[in-house]
Structure 1
Amino acid sequence: MKQILQTLVGICQAALLVAALGFGINAQANEGGFPLDTAPNRVSNNASLQNGAKIFVNYCSGCHAAGSVRYNRLRDIGLTDQQIKDNLILTDAKVGDLMTISMSAKDGKAYFGKTPPDLSVEARARGTDWLYTYFRTYYKDDTTPTGWNNLVYPNVGMPHVLWQLQGERAAKFEERKDPHDADKMEKVFVGFEQLTPGTMKSQEYDDNIADLVSFLSWMAEPVQLERKRLGVIVLIFLAIFTLLAWRLNKAYWKDIH
């Protein structure tokens, strides 16, 4: 009985540890780099996910595939097959096909210096906070091949495909003494300067990026809401069962000295 009790306690501790690690992924995703903003979590909001899907297919899917997801999976965010076909499939693909693209990995590397990643798994690889901050920290830089740079991903090969929505911005930096070495100077970011207006206001742009990132997060794990719901049920069950096992163990050994 004692061994059973110890096993149950170990299971609960392991489950809680996994949950804690999962919650901490985004917070550590860019340790030592540009500070990350917290991404709004809208994976339970179908309207936001549908808007994110629209932004994805119009601005991202030309270069980035989502090869782990089929178009018909978008039924889970409240879309019908006809809506998917009419609004989100821009090629001759079928509703049951994977969300792949025509550009090969070889061509992508030749165009951008690196093969564009598959975005069906990018939210799990990078974290939603990283993506949310990344899409919002592009700035003009004439020294790069694309004319763009990024605070989260310096010298990024991908141009700012959403620049028409956000407008063109310049990053302002200041030279300051390195706090770790008084003999050195470091370049510190102090803000953005809007060069040309975009079609969206700043808050509207951020709101749409939140929808896009939420959609990328949903694609990375379409069943995540169900997983979390079941996880809570399992933890509650284990806690109750552990309590019952503890009381049973105490009752069993009470008359044995």
Structure 2
Amino acid sequence: MIKKLFASLAVALSLVGGASAAGGALHLDKFPVERVQDEAALQRGAKLFANYCLNCHAAAFMRYNRMRDIGLSDEQIKANLLFASEKVGDTMKVAMSAKDAKDWFGATPPDLTVIARSRASHYGTGADYLYTYLRGFYRDDTRPTGWNNTVFPSVGMPHALWELQGEQRMAGDGHGKLELTKPGKLSAKEYDAAVADLVAYLQWMGEPGQIQRTKLGTVVLIFLAGFMFLAWRLNSAFWKDIK
């Protein structure tokens, strides 16, 4: 399994590694990191992932039942996230074969289990990258899929969320400014919020224990603060009569 994980990570890096190929510094918008601690946001992101990403991208190192950690019951997982013969204990795989994916897209879509961790760079976190990338698609008639991306020029992936965002086109000056030419189901603000939820889920999926670790760390810090106060008072009481 470790070999498969490294192989998946290598594919992900190779497919999304050319983000700044067009030259110049890559600008990434800041992802609202507090969403990773918001169970409701993670649940919404999990539903978006199952509906829009899991058709092509697997998360083969994540089991559906791990989403109990973000507050979902087995019944909720079955009702909202399982669509075929999958079971709650299964890993998040796709039915599409690697051969078909390569024939259709030119390369096998990468596994997304650790995609948020793989994209961290000096430009920003992996979550910053994904948050900007998923909001940077625009219509480009020169591309085989009809789509391009400001973060990843000449991207092979079509815009999976176009029904929600609508269609953007590059402004006339061609300097990276996008303008919405066809509205989607969501307003710009609603779409940004939905992408933030999805990216929060991808960030959580790469390290599912982070919420519990943060909660435990908070408890430990409170305990240490209380212990230091008691130790200080005990030390003062012990030395008060000693000159």
Question: Which TM-score band applies after superposition, normalised by the shorter structure?
Answer: 0.7 to 0.9
C-alpha displacement at 1:173, in angstroms? 5.2
Task: Give 5+ residue unaligned stretches, structure 1.
Answer: 1-28, 175-186, 241-257
What's the counterpart of residue 62 of structure 1? 55
The structure 2 residue matched to 1:120, chosen from 105, 108, 113, is: 113
Structure 1 position 143 matched with structure 2 position 130: no
What's the counterpart of residue 197 of structure 2? 211
Matches within 5 A, 1:129-140: 129-140=128-139
Structure 1 position 37 matched with structure 2 position 29: yes
C-alpha displacement at 1:163, in angstroms? 0.6
Task: Give 5+ residue unaligned stretches, structure 2.
Answer: 1-18, 120-125, 228-243
CA separation of 1:221 and 1:50: change in aligned 2, threshold 3 A: same
Secondary structure at 1:194 match in 2: strand
Task: Work out the CA distance in 2 between the residues paired with 1:140 and 1:33.
Answer: 23
Summarize deviations over 1:12-70 as a string: whole Å, max 9, x none: xxxxxxxxxxxxxxxxx979543000001211111100100111111100000111110
Task: Work out the CA distance in 1 between the residues paired with 2:25 and 2:191.
Answer: 24
AA partner of residue 221 (structure 1): E
C-alpha displacement at 1:113, in angstroms? 1.0
C-alpha displacement at 1:229, in angstroms? 5.4
Does the CA-based 8 Å contact 1:70-1:97 persist in structure 2? yes
What's the counterpart of residue 206 of structure 2? 220
Structure 1 position 92 matched with structure 2 position 85: yes
Matches within 5 A, 1:139-218: 139-172=138-171, 174=173, 188-189=175-176, 191-218=177-204
AA partner of residue 215 (structure 1): Y
- TM-score w.r.t. the length of structure 1 is 0.71
C-alpha displacement at 1:164, in angstroms? 0.9
Identical pairs, percent: 55
C-alpha displacement at 1:110, in angstroms? 1.5
AA partner of residue 61 (structure 2): S
- TM-score w.r.t. the length of structure 2 is 0.75
Does the CA-based 8 Å contact 1:33-1:152 persist in structure 2? no
Task: Work out the CA distance in 1 between the residues paired with 2:149 and 2:98.
Answer: 23
C-alpha displacement at 1:137, in angstroms? 0.5
AA partner of residue 39 (structure 2): N
AA partner of residue 214 (structure 1): A
Q: RMSD across aligned C-alpha pairs, in angstroms?
A: 2.4
Secondary structure at 2:171 match in 1: strand
Matches within 5 A, 1:94-113: 94-113=87-106
C-alpha displacement at 1:230, in angstroms? 5.7
